[in-house]
Structures are given as structure tokens and as C-alpha cells.
Structure 1
Amino acid sequence: MVLVSAVRDYINRMLQDISGMKVLILDSQTVSIVSVAYSQSELLQKEVFLVELVDSISKSKESMSHLKAIFFLRPTSENIHHLRRQLASPRFGEYHLFFSNMLKDTQIHILADSDEHEVVQQVQEFYADFVASDPFHFSLNVPSNHLYMLPAVVDPSNLQNFCDRVVDGIAAIFLALKRRPFIRYQRTSDIAKRIAQETTKLMYQQESGLFDFRRTDISPLLLIIDRRDDPVTPLLNQWTYQAMVHELIGIQDNKVDLRSIGKIPKDQQEVVLSSEQDAFFKANMYENFGDIGLNIKRLVDEFQQIAKSNQKIQTIEDMAKFVDNYPEYKKMHGNVSKHVTLVTEMSKIVEEHKLMLVSQTEQDLACNGGQVAAFEAVTNLLNNESISDIDCLRLVMLYALRYEKESPVQLMQLFNKLASRSPKYKPGLVQFLLKQAGVDKRTGDLYGNRDLLNIARNMARGLKGVENVYTQHQPLLFQTMESITKGRLRDVDYPYIGNHFQQGSRLQEVVIFIVGGTTYEESRSVALQNASNSGIRFILGGSVVLNSKRFLKDLEEAQRIARSSPAVV
């Protein structure tokens, strides 16, 4: 069962058994969960005539007794409070309450006591407490994502809220999959260890009965790792379609906001990029940018042929055929316009910011040795006024992560050049990144220079050359999946929690959760790995979906908190 299908199944079960006109009431997080899995037209087909947010309907007094209210909410104390107010003075004819995760007994009692008018028809838990952006990739959209960097510094209640949200999301994944995993975590990460311990406590002690699915086949693996083990991947420019759109424009819950671009038709100002709803995107989401241009040209050519055939309306039969096909024609027109607009805008950004020049140096820093050449390349780009400040910052960060031990003098020269180049440079941000994610903090073999097998692989790749210099980088996650597939993930680096695992058993399913966020480059690696038929199905999840802007923003916010704290990291 893939993730999008799991969420769709829950939504179907909510909507199909309740006949008549309905209003769907969501909170700020479940609106994301529903929107990525279900389209507006599909909701209309289920007789949902109104979608509202729970905090806005609490303010309204208007009676709508002809509508049946379906609430799909996270089981938070704030949402329970909204429901109490609703039930005290009901506006709708019926109330059907669905929660995206486990309700506490106290919450159930509060709801029962509040239903004095006896309008509540049902209360159910449907475990869709995650945003399934792709079949094997989910996010939790955690707002304060920077907290994972500062477990010893931030307010304990804020950190607990962060951990609770992550544990809830992970629990929902396994309840949706109807499995209980054995759990491993990254040894060098305090936050990964804490989340692993709290997840184990929930699944094996507090809610043991709920997770006891009495299945005899092999339990899946949950591996919890820390974003800081691979800070390189979210700093790189991207050149495959989905990842590139997110890096250059931004994707939020499978939607792309194009309002800032200029004169764009109203129906194209926010577009949907979903592999479930867009066949062209599904076929091309992992393709290189150069290939995308050719494929979009074919799409435009196909559309022009259809448009020409529609111009030859000469008979009543032709007209009837056109009317029958019009919705499909209009949908295709919108789809072609969407992809042409996206690629045109990205081409402009690439040209304006000289990203091909920047990206070539980025890839060399991430994939190839040679400190002297790297220093010269980064210095030249810092001297180039056409290169943006944020690109210069990322280049220095990538250099620092690679050569922090080898060239401290040159590194200081780059710090000074960066600082003198622009007042926008955040003082000390590169140094803070090294404190958070430098070589002494990392577990994995990020540059493939510790393990003999990785050194040999890199040498072989260097001798063969690479098909595309802009996409030669592979995230650390690729190595991690390879180690899992071959049974080589070291226990000393990724220990087990508890004694719930079966020694020597062959894995069939692995959920890898990255505290601090995933990238679309990593979700592409997971999709390609799953397509390789290794016998193991991987699912990737994280607290947010990152691009370089979001990663740097989290870093800045963590640095600000660390500076204001007496216990500076």
C-alpha cells in the first residue's frame, strides 16, 4: 500500500458512506493532507459543497442544518476546544468526527460530555497524519523545523512539541501500513535517539495493543537519521524537474505559486504538480532539465495537432464530438500551459543567476577531490558580480564542509571575501554550519573517502566520466539504502532500540525518516531504488521538504537562538 493510496482510502471511507450534501471541515494541517491526495473535482463528486477551516467556522453563527458536517482534524487540544464550542451550539444537521491520529481517553470523554444535542453520529481515528506528496515520500510540514539542531538549548516544551509531532507522524505511517517496525537510529544524533526512544515507547508500551497486528511475516525497519549527517544535498542546485521547480520557484503541498512571475492568466497563478493527477509530470518528474525541454516540445506538438483537428468543425456530428471532448481538451490546454510556463520561468532564472556556472562548481565540491582547483573556482565565482549573494554563501558552505580540516587558511580567506562582498552575508553562518554538521559531527561517509568500497566506486566513476556533470551528485541516502539492501548498515553507527528485532531476517520494507527534512533529490533516489527490484521497498519521510532557501532559513533561526542562549552550541 503506497502512501497516497492510503490517504485516499481514508478520505474515501469518510465521504462515501455519508449521503447527501456535506461540508468538509479541516484544520491548518489536515487541509494539506487532503489537498495533496484529493482534487476539488473529486470532492464535488462526493457531494462536498463546502470546505472550511475549523477556526473560521467557530467564529460564524450562521445555521446550515441542511448540511452534514465531516470534521477531519488532528487530535490537538485546540481542535477539541473548537469542537466543544461547535457542539454547544450546533450549526449543522449531523456531525461526523474523524481524527488523523490517536485520541486520548480524556478527549473522547470531553467530546461525549459536549454532545448535549446528540448531533454526533460517529467518532473515528483514520491514521492519515502525514502529507503524502508522492507514493513513497511524505512530510509532516513541521513549522519550527530548526529546533532539531538545538535539543540542549531550546525551550523544553517547544522541543517536546516538535518530538511529539514527529512521533505522531511516524506512528500514523505504521498504523496506515498496519505494521509495527523494529527501530534503529543514528548514534551521533541526540534528537534522532530521542525520537527513536519515544516512538519505541509508544508502539511497544503505551499503545502496544493498537500496534499488535498479529502478522507472522517480517517486521519492517524504521531508521531515524539526522539531516545534519548530509548537509550537502539541500545546499545544491537541482537539475531534475520536480527538484528543480522546488529549488527555483518552490513547491508547497504539491502546489506551485506563480503569482510573482508577472502577467499570468488567473487560472495559472497557482498550479498543481502531482504525479497522481498529471501524467506528463509523472513521466518526467525525475528527468534532466535538458530532456524536459524536448519532452515539453512534443507535448506542445501533440496539443497543436488536436487543436487543428478541433478547428475543422463542419457538421453537427463534429460539433457534438468537440463538446464531448471539450473537458479533456481544456484540461490538456491547461496542462501544456502549466509546463511551458514553469520551464520558461526556470530557464530565465538559470540564465539570470548563471546557475550552470555555479552548479558545475557545486558538483565538483560535492563529488570530486582537488582542494586547490576548488579554492580557485570558488574565489573566481565570489569575484563575479553576476553571481547572487545566496549562491556565493552556498558555495563557501560547500567548500567549508569539504575542506574544513585541509585548508583552514584558505577557508578564512573565503569567509573574509564573502563578508566584504555583501552586507547580506550572515556573519558566522558558515562556522555555525560546521559546528552543527562538520566532519566531527557526522556518522556517514559523506564524501566516500573513508570506506575502501566507496573510494573504489568514486575512482571508477571518475575514470568512466559522468553522463551529466550537473546531476552526478548522489545523496548520502543512496549509500544508506545500498548498505541496508546488502545487510551492511553498521550496528555501531545505527544501533537498535530495544530487543524487538529478528536477527538474520531479510527485510522487505524500510521507512527512513530524516529529522530536519528531506529533499526531492532524495525522494528521486528512493523512487529509483524501488524501481530496481532489490526486494526491499523504501519509504522516505521527514519533518519538512527542503530546498536551499528553507535549509538556510532553518540554519539562521537556529543560529539566532544559539546566540541568545547561555548554553551556546
Structure 2
Amino acid sequence: MDLYAVAQHYLDRILESEPDPAAGEDIKVLLLDSVTSSVISMVTTQSELLKKDVFLIDKLDNFQRDNLRNLACICFVQPSSATIGDLAKEIANPNYKNYTVYFSNTVSRSHLERLAESDDLEMISKVVEVFQDYLVVNSSLFTMPQKLAPHSPLVHDSWNQPAFDQSLQSLMSVLLSLKYKPVIRYESNSKMCAKLANAINFEINSNQMLFGQLPARDLPPSLLVLDRKNDPITPLLFPWTYQSMIHELLGIRNNTVDMSQMANVSEELKELVVNEQTDQFYKESMYLNFGDLSESLKKFIETYKAKTKTSSNISSIKDMKFFLENYPEFKKTSINLSKHMLLSTEIDKKINQLRLWEVGELEQSLATNDNSSADLAELEDLLFDRKLQNGQPLPPLDENTKLKLLALYALRYEAHASSQLSRLTRQLQQTGFPAHKLELVKTLLKNSGVAQRLKDDDDSIFEKVSNSAMGNVINGISFADNSDSNVYMQHSPRLKQVLMKLFRNKLNPKNYTLVKPNGLESYTGNDKIPDQELVIFIVGGVTYEEARLVAELNKTNKNVKLVIGGTSILDSDTFIGLK
């Protein structure tokens, strides 16, 4: 299952036309809103749109647009009240020859009636619903098109209405784009998951015109709705794979990295696109750990050097022709190499500045071992800057890094009799550590502590990677992980345990409530035939490390199709409430 392929299918539908060259209809204007412009930017490029005769791309809310009455207009917009209002104004005072309107989700009758009332000039030639009301981040990762949803433990166990509406609408769009009518499971300790799951069930049952026409399956797809509070460890840990590190240290927004604040960066490297669809090196390297990434980058450099050396030996007209024909590709490769050199150099610099090599070892120990005395000793050395190198004190550890270490310790030893959290907090206060940051640890425990998390005897958020051949193959599905020998990648996200139980049909029904839409009442699950098509959605945000787990399951198991999404994509600062 490839979300890029799904998006491309809809994009082709949106841009399809029956051109009349004499009328100039082979050239088109694409009109977007603030949401669909992000949706489009994640799955295609301007050059690709030009190949499809898109002459101009503009925003619906740009009221200073030129009047181009000789050009046909394709509108791809979200069916929100605000957008419908802007579109009605546009139709009443048209700037273009005619309009084909594509909505990114289902549109209400009242909105259609409002458009019809505005279309006195009969400018709209067609109205179509397509289902692309979400952002495609990776081939198996999606997220919400706007940052409205709860993403931090500071948010209590209830939805705000805009966030709920967006999550519901986007998830419905995901299901319809994949042609899924799923059974739904949600974590029973979460009011937010319960509300969302039941609303999805209601929407499926209320839209039989859409869901009733989907192809029948022997085994229905599944939607698994999880709550971030049940695994607060994964988003707190520093991640050691390429895509995750870029997001954690530099920030990825809509698959771009802003490097414009860096000194001495050329214009073409100020905004870097990181997209597996358009960047082969990134596609091959995004899940590599830092050591393997360095080797991969070294090979990339050597390959590039070999190609440029060959192309520089121009001794004939034939050689010159070959070079000129391939120059654009050489230029593209050169920029791409510079991009990844810049990203990896900045990551390496920040890892050393933040002392993440030593911090990472303690993080992994806290996340996978139960060794309170050793963990406490190492933690105190880092919190109170007691570490020495060659007899000299090391630079003080970053304040936010200290906070996250304290949070991991608080979660790990919350129920431990020897926990020294109160003493550590008090001593940090005495050193001048900001009180509002220490409050974040209390808030984290209040909302994601042991009393709030789902209780399952054989389920733990402090899970170590295991590569037992027997234990990692469930009903023919391999859960093997090649990172068990890496000291920095010992922790395994709780999601892995949940999926292993799901594929054995062993999820505790008390912990995972099953909701069956009309027509799927007979579904009971099968411990011999695992669910094969699954959408996972995490309320409170998903991490790139969980996306990596899903991508690797898809890669090693051709008989399963998994996608994962969340209300946002987290980094550790966002999760704990620092930004």
C-alpha cells in the first residue's frame, strides 16, 4: 500500500481534461486553498504540474488575482464553510473561463446549494468529490493537514472541537481513498479514542452510498485508534535514524527543512525538500542509523566523483553531446549530494553540541533496563554537570535535554520504592532550573503516568528490542528488528507489542473495544489468519520511529498492508510541551 500512489491517482483525476487546443483549453489554472496547497505540495512538484499543462497555481483567498477569462480553472479545495464562501464569491465574479471543482472530502448538500445559488452565470462545469484531505508524509505515513489537533501531554483527556472535526474528516478521507470499510478497535482507557472511533462508525453507517459500493473482502480492513498517553517513552527518546534525526534536530514541516537561518548557505540550500518520492538517496537512507548513514553517504560521494570524472574527459563531439545531454542530471545529483552533506553535517554538529552520544546511552538504559542505582548515578552526573574529561568539566548539558532525562527517569521509576524524583527536582530548583519546566514532568506523570496508561500484564512501554526467531514471527508475519546490537536503538515502541497481539488476534477485548459498522457484525477475528489491511491512528501524535516500524513491517511482509498516521508528527520538545 503506497499513499503516494493513492494521491497520484486522485491528482491525475483532478488534472485530467479533454483539451480543445483551438479554445486554449489545453492550458489550465489550478486554484487551491491553504489546506489543499499543502496536500498538493507533498505529493508533486511544480515541474510535474507544468507537464500536465498547469500554467498557473494560485490561492482562492488571493483576491488580487488577474482576470484570465480565456483560461479554464480547476479548483481543488477543502469543503469547509470558509472555502465555500470564498468559492461562491469567485463564481459570482469569475476570473476564468469556466470552473471544474474538486473537493478534497465529502461535501454537504447545504454547501452545494450555496454554490448553485452563486452560479448565475453557469460557470461550474463539474463538481467532484475526491478523498485527499490529509498530508502524505511517507508512503505509509500520513498526518492532519492543519496543526489543530492535541499533541502535548498538557492537553487533557478531551477534544477541542476543531481538532476533533479535522481528525474525523481526515480519517474518513483516508479510509475512502484506500477504499476501506473497516472494523474499528480503540484503546478503552481513552475518552478521545472512544469519541473518535464511535464517530467514524456513525459516519460509515450514515454514508452507505460511499461505503456500500466498496469491494467486498473475505477479511475486512481494520482501523486501530491508539492514545499517545499509553506510550510516552517513544516520543521522549532521541531517535537515531536519519529521517527521525532530521525532524528532532532541525525540524521537518510539510517535508521541507528550513536552513535559511544558517550562515553561509547558498540560496538553493536554504529550503531542503526531504521526500522519498523524489529523492532516491533519501528513500534508501531515511531509516538508516547514524553509522550506516555515514557509510551510505560515503558511497554516494564516491559514485558522484566517478561520474563527474568520466564526464570531464571530453575528447570528442560524441563525448560533448553525452555531457550536455546528462548535465541536468549531474546538476541535480550535485545539489542532492550537497543537501545531504549539509543535513548530515548539521546533525553531527548538534549531536556533539548536545552530548547526545552519552545522553543516548542513559536514555536507552532508562527505557529498557531496571537498574535504578546505576541509572540514578549516571543521571545525577548529567543533571548536575559532574562529568569530567581529562580532569576538566565538560560543557554544561542543555537544559531541555536535562528535562527529558528527568522525565524518562520519572516514568521509569514512578512506582519504584527507591525513586529519587522529589530530591532531584528539589536540587535542580536550587541550581536555578526553571520551575515551569519542572512542572512539565508533573504534568506528564499526571496525564501519562502508570495510573493513566492502559493496564496489560504482558504489555510494557519499557520494551527492549528482541530478535528471537520464534518470538518475532506471528502467523507468518516477521517482526524481526536488526537494531538489537546497536546500543542506541535498544528500545522498541509499544506499538510493536500491540501489533504482535493484533496479528495473533490476542488483543484483550477489555483494553481494545471492537466497533463493527453495519454489514460487518459477523466479524470475530481469526487467530490463524491475521488482519492484512490496517490503518493505525495515534491521537496525540505519531513519531517517525513508529512510522519506521510500520515501513519495515510492510517491507518484510508482502501479505500485509499497513499505514500509520496521527494528529501530528512529534518531536520530543513538542511532546513534553516545550514548544
More off after superposition, 193-202 vs 249-258? 249-258
Contact 1:382 1:417 in 2 (8 A): no
Segments of structure 1 that go 5 or more residues without pairing to the other structure are 558-569
**Local SS of the residue matching 1:64:** coil
Query: Residue 557 of structure 2: which of 530, 533, 553 is its match?
Result: 533
CA separation in 2, counterparts of 1:71 and 1:456?
A: 51
Contact 1:485–1:534 (CA under 8 A) maintained in structure 2? no
User: Residue deviations 1:16-60, cap 9 Å, x none?
Assistant: 32542222222222122111111121111111122222212xx21
**What's the counterpart of residue 452 of structure 2?**
441
| Deviation at residue 418 of structure 1 after TM alignment | 3.3
Could you say which residue in structure 2 is the equivalent of 1:390? Answer: 400
Deviation for aligned residue 1:179 = 1.8
Amino acid across the alignment from 1:247: E
Q: Does 2:528 correspond to 1:504? A: no
2:28 maps to which residue?
Answer: 22
Cα distance in 2 between the residues matched to 1:255 and 1:451: 32
**Secondary structure in structure 2 of the residue aligned to 1:167:** helix
Alignment RMSD: 2.6
Distance in 2 of aligned mates of 1:46 and 1:36: 17
Task: Give the number of equivalent residue pairs.
Answer: 545
- State which of 57, 61, 74 in structure 2 corresponds to 1:51: 57
Partner Cα separation in structure 2 for residue 127 and residue 141 of structure 1: 13
Higher helix content, 1 or 2? 1
Q: Provide Cα deviations, 1:217-258, integer angstroms capped at 9, x if missing partner.
A: 321111111011111111111111111111111111111111
Cα distance in 1 for partners of 2:302, 2:18 equals 45
Alpha-carbon separation, structure 1, partners of 2:463 and 2:359: 30
Percent identity of paired positions between Structure 1 and Structure 2: 34
Post-superposition, which runs of at least 4 consecutive aligned residues in structure 1 deviate over 6 A? Answer: 150-154, 450-457
Distance 2:309 2:500 in 1: 50
**Is the Cα contact below 8 Å between 1:222 and 1:512 reproduced in 2?**
yes
| Partner of residue 494 from structure 2, selected from 476, 481, 492 | 476
Matched with 2:537 is 513
- What amino acid maps onto 2:370 in structure 1? G
CA distance in 1, matches of 2:543, 2:463: 28
- Is the CA contact 2:133–2:173 (under 8 Å) kept in the aligned structure 1? yes
Q: Secondary structure at the residue paired with 1:472? A: coil
Q: What residue number does 1:32 align with?
A: 38
Amino acid at match of 1:536: V
- 1:424–1:316 distance in 2 versus 1, CA, 3 Å: farther
Is the CA contact (8 Å cut-off) linking 1:141 and 1:545 kept in structure 2? no
- Is the 8 Å Cα contact of residues 257 and 271 (structure 1) preserved in structure 2? yes
Alignment partner, residue 138 of structure 2: 134
Aligned equivalent of 2:389:
none
8 Å CA contact 1:509–1:536 kept in 2: the answer is: yes
| Structure-2 separation of matches of 1:323 and 1:452 | 55
Partners of 2:483 and 2:42 in 1: how far apart?
Answer: 39
Work out whether 1:401 is the aligned partner of 2:401: no
CA distance in 2, matches of 1:469, 1:36: 34
8 A Cα contact 1:445 1:476, kept in partner: no
1:269-288 paired onto structure 2 within 5 Å: 269-288=270-289
Q: Does the alignment pair 1:492 with 2:489?
A: no
User: Quick check: 1:93–1:119 contact (8 Å CA) kept in 2?
Assistant: yes
* AA matched with 2:207: E
- 1:131-166 residue CA offsets vs partner (Å, 9 max, x unmatched): 111111111144233378688787xxx722211111
Partner of 1:262: 263
Counterpart amino acid of 1:104? S
Q: What SS does structure 2 have at the residue aligned with 1:405?
A: coil
Distance 1:454 1:300, change over 3 A: closer
Cα distance in 2, alignment partners of residues 112 and 411 from structure 1: 63
How far does residue 421 in structure 1 lie from its aligned partner after superposition?
A: 4.2
Give how far 1:424 is off.
7.4
1:257 corresponds to which letter in structure 2?
A: D
In structure 1, the residue corresponding to 2:176 is in which secondary structure? helix
| Cα separation, 1, equivalents of 2:138 and 2:455 | 26
Instruction: State how far apart, in whole Å, the 2-side matches of 1:18 and 1:68 are.
Output: 11
Residue of structure 2 equivalent to 1:174: 175
**Counterpart contact for 1:389–1:425, Cα < 8 Å:** no
Tell me the CA shift for residue 489 of structure 1: 1.2
Q: Aligned-pair distance for 1:99? A: 0.7
Q: 1:252 to 1:424 in 2, by over 3 A?
A: farther
Query: For residue 182 of structure 1, what is the amino acid of its counterpart?
Result: V
Superposed displacement of residue 454, structure 1: 10
The residue correspondences of 1:52-451 to structure 2 (distance < 5 A) are 52-56=58-62, 59-60=63-64, 62-146=66-150, 159-204=160-205, 206-212=206-212, 213-384=214-385, 385-407=395-417, 410-419=420-429, 420-423=431-434, 426-443=437-454
> What TM-score comes out, normalization by structure 2 length?
0.89
Distance in structure 2 (CA, Å) of the matches to 1:9 and 1:455: 39
1:166-205: CA deviation from partner (whole Å, max 9, x where unpaired): 111111111111120011110000000000111100001x
| CA shift in 2, pair 1:88/1:148, >3 Å | farther
Partner amino acid, structure 2, of 1:41: S
Q: CA deviation at 1:407?
A: 4.5
Return the letter of the residue paired with 2:354: H
Q: CA deviation at 1:355?
A: 0.8
- 1:258-312 Cα shifts (integer Å, max 9, x gaps): 1122211111111111111111111111111111111111111111111112222
Relative distance call for 1:208 and 1:319 in structure 2 (3 A) is same
Which stretch shifts more, 501-510 or 190-199? 501-510
Which string of whole-angstrom CA distances, capped at 9 and with x for unpartnered residues, describes residues 424-464 of structure 1?
7524110110111001111166995599999998xx99xx9
In structure 2, the gaps of 5 or more residues are 20-25, 386-394, 473-481
Q: Determine the C-alpha separation between the residues in 2 that align with 1:476 and 1:135.
A: 22
Give CA deviations for 1:358-382 in whole Å, capped at 9, x if unaligned.
1111111111111111111111111
State the distance in 1 between where 2:457 and 2:255 align: 29
Distance 1:232 1:452, change over 3 A: closer
- Whether contact under 8 Å (1:151, 1:159) holds in the other structure is no
Aligned-partner Cα distance in 2 for 1:396–1:241: 25
